[in-house]
Every structure is written in structure tokens, then in C-alpha cells.
Structure 1
């Protein structure tokens, strides 16, 4: 679509073609960025959910301590285990999601730059290198 924006204005002035190019680039950018916000939110929320589980596990632990006391280590281990498992799960989700988000962000930047470079190269071939 971006290259067609330049080609469709090839018979007009360079300024018209540049405006058309900018408009086309602005239209394509949201398509590339789609779902990136959701991915970033997932990477941010996962550790928070793990923390929430940790707090819940600790609350459970203190409830058990209040009811049973601290004589039975197996009873205490349940609350501690719940806290650690939820923390681990949040991190296991967040780390790969954030890595994926970073990789995709770099790829989007590379694609966007390449679209611009190729479009400008085409404009220079059509209109010459003078601005």
C-alpha cells in the first residue's frame, strides 16, 4: 500500500507524492502495532497476579497459624507453597511475554524503517534526488 501511494502520485508533484506517502505510512503503522499493547499488558499484569497469589497464600498461612498454631510444619507448608507457586507462575508467564514483546517491537521498527527507505528510494527514482 505504501509504494502504491507513491506510484499513484507519480504524475503529480514530489510534494504531493510525499504527502501521500506520509499518509500511507500513518495508515500502515497501526496495523503493525496491533495487539502490541495487549502483549505488553500481559507481561506487566502476570507478575502482579503472581504477587496477588503470594499475598493470598500468606493470608491463608496466617489464618492456619491462627487456627492450628505453629506446631505442624506440613500445615504451614501449604500456605507457603501456594505463595511460591503463584509467584513462580506469574514470572514464568511474564518473562517470555516481555521477551516476545521486545523482539516484535524491534521487528516492527525494522519493517517501518524499511518501508520508509524503500518508498523514498522509489520517490527518488521517479522524481530525482532534488527536493
Structure 2
């Protein structure tokens, strides 16, 4: 393996660094974007039971805010519930924007890796072919070793760049899809809570 990396030339270094960074981002994002961490299914019913029983303490709001991202959004809305529906919606939207930013963290970097890795491979291809044609001009076609070295560099860097780019692109799209799905789920839960509180307020009036 080391001989293959060595044959690819110095451009293999940024390609390898890109691959390590991509793997780290993929593992970290899949761990962070777990459903039980982002938007547990039993959170909204639990919150609503406490609201209905008038048992919504400041400690509980602080707890759900720290435990999950959906909890932080619901807590932001509930903190403004006495100010009316619009105040709740504004507070929820502001917190949701922050949560969305955190959920999308590092995804731009992963997308960038998916785009630049094949370009690095292409650059290696160009440099390898330059080496081949330079050798031909200087030594003619008799030195097969030099020609093979340049062609080898071109093929190895191209293959390495694509090997990094293809999985990075696949996981970037998968993670983006997961973020979008979780955001939709959280939005639906928030709308349910706001509507339920508004309905209860209208009934009590």
C-alpha cells in the first residue's frame, strides 16, 4: 500500500488527508444526528402532559433544552407561551434556525471534499502526463521506467481522488437528507404544540 501511495506522488498527501477528514465528519454526523438525540418521539407527548397538568417547571424546561435539539426548540416556544401564539412562533423560529445551523455543521466541508478530491486526482493525472512527455522530449521513448512512472502517477492519483469523492458525495447527500427529514419532524411537532396551546387558550377564554 505504501508503495502505491509513494508512486502517486505528493498529491496523494492532500487526497489522504481529505479521506481521513471525510471519514471523521461522516462518523461524527451520524452519531450526532441520531433520532433519540435530535427529536425523540416521546418528547412531545411528555411535554404536552406536563402542560396539561400544569406541571411545567423551569427545571424541566432547562432539562429538555439541554438534552435534545427538539427540546431546545419546544422550550424556547413554551418560555414565550404567555405572550401569545405569534410570540411563540417567533421564538421557535429563531431557535429552529440555530438548531438547523448546528445540524448542518461540517456538511459543507464534506461536500467540498467530494468536489475537490476528483480535481486533485485530475491534477495528478496532468502532472503525471507532463512527466511522461518531458521524459519523451529529453530521453525519447527508450526509457520505459520513466514513462511507466509518469503513467502510474496519473492513474493512481485519479483512482485515489475518485475513491474519496464518490463515498463523500453519497454520504453528503444521505446526511443532508437526514437533516431535512429531522427538521420536518421537528417543525411538525412544534406546530402541533403551538396549535394545541392556542386551542386550549381559546377554550379557557
Residue in 1 aligned with 2:98?
Answer: 27
Displacement of 1:75:
3.3
Give secondary structure in 1 for the equivalent of 2:141. Answer: coil
Matches within 5 A, 1:86-105: 86-105=157-176
The structure whose RCO (Cα within 8 Å, separation 6+) is larger is 1
Displacement of 1:72:
4.1
C-alpha distance in structure 2 between counterparts of 1:110 and 1:104, whole Å: 10
C-alpha distance in structure 1 between counterparts of 2:86 and 2:146, whole Å: 75
Runs of 4+ more than 2 Å apart? 71-75
C-alpha distance in structure 1 between counterparts of 2:134 and 2:128, whole Å: 10
Which structure 1 residue ranges, 5 or more long, are not aligned? none
**How many pairs does the alignment contain?**
130
TM-score by length of 1: 0.92
Displacement of 1:11:
1.9
C-alpha distance in structure 1 between counterparts of 2:154 and 2:167, whole Å: 21
Matches within 5 A, 1:66-85: 66-85=137-156
Residue in 1 aligned with 2:58?
Answer: none
C-alpha distance in structure 2 between counterparts of 1:126 and 1:9, whole Å: 12
Which structure 2 residue ranges, 5 or more long, are not aligned? 1-71
Matches within 5 A, 1:102-117: 102-117=173-188
Work out which of the residue numbers 31, 47, 64 in structure 1 matches 2:135. 64
Displacement of 1:54:
0.4
Work out which of the residue numbers 116, 127, 130 in structure 1 matches 2:198. 127
Instruction: Please give the root-mean-square deviation of Cα atoms over the aligned residues, in Å.
Output: 1.6
Displacement of 1:26:
1.2
TM-score by length of 2: 0.60
Give secondary structure in 1 for the equivalent of 2:83. Answer: coil
Give secondary structure in 1 for the equivalent of 2:152. Answer: helix
